[in-house]
């Protein structure tokens, strides 16, 4: 009777060890897939957004502001926020240069009004 109990106990241990190793393999595969996916998303964000920030801002930002498309500017802000402070700094610089251009145009118009 004791031999049967030990045999069943031994078989149970083998089954548990087998199931535990299967679970470890399963979780390892899931974690590996998750991290691979996160890394892939990070790479895509960097390649599609970071490498083209300056182009997007130089071509579209002034137009968006001039046409009062502030929702689009907000979407651009959210997009740049995903890649971190570098994108936000570029947006801040573009907005600052836009303000400088507008101020210089207004000053020029005021000077012309005074002269003429």
Whether residue 82 is found in the same domain as residue 116:
yes
Q: Is the pLDDT of residue 1 over 70?
A: no
Residue 3: the pLDDT is 58
Whether residue 42 is found in the same domain as residue 81:
no
**Listed residue (83, 81, 82, 61) closest to 72, CA to CA:** 61
DSSP 3-state of 83: coil
Whether residue 60 is found in the same domain as residue 116:
yes
As given in the structure block, the two tokens for residue 59 are 């071509």
Which residues, 6 or more positions from 50, have their beta carbon under 8 angstroms from its beta carbon?
A: 83, 86, 87
Residue 15: the pLDDT is 76
Please write the tens of the pLDDT for every residue from 60-80. 788 888 888 888 888 888 888
Whether residue 78 is found in the same domain as residue 31:
no
Domain membership of residue 59 as a residue range: 53-116
Percent of the chain with pLDDT over 90: 0
Q: What is the pTM of this model?
A: 0.56
**Listed residue (90, 104, 105) closest to 56, CA to CA:** 90
More confident residue, 111 or 46: 46
Whether residue 43 is found in the same domain as residue 60:
no
- For residue 88, give Cα distances in angstroms to 13, 41, 57, 116: 57, 19, 11, 42
Residue 84: the pLDDT is 77
Mean pLDDT of the chain: 77
Q: Is the pLDDT of residue 55 over 70?
A: yes
């Amino acid at each position: 009777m004791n031999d049967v109990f030990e045999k069943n106990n031994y078989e149970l241990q083998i089954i548990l060890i087998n199931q535990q190793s299967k679970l470890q393999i399963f979780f390892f595969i899931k974690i590996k897939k998750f991290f691979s996916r996160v890394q892939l998303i990070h790479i895509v964000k960097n390649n599609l957004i970071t490498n083209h920030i300056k182009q997007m801002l130089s071509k579209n930002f002034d137009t968006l502001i001039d046409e009062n498309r502030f929702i689009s500017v907000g979407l651009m802000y959210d997009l740049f926020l995903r890649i971190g402070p570098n994108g936000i700094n570029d947006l801040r610089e573009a907005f600052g240069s836009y303000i400088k251009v507008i101020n210089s145009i207004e000053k020029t118009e005021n000077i012309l009004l005074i002269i003429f």
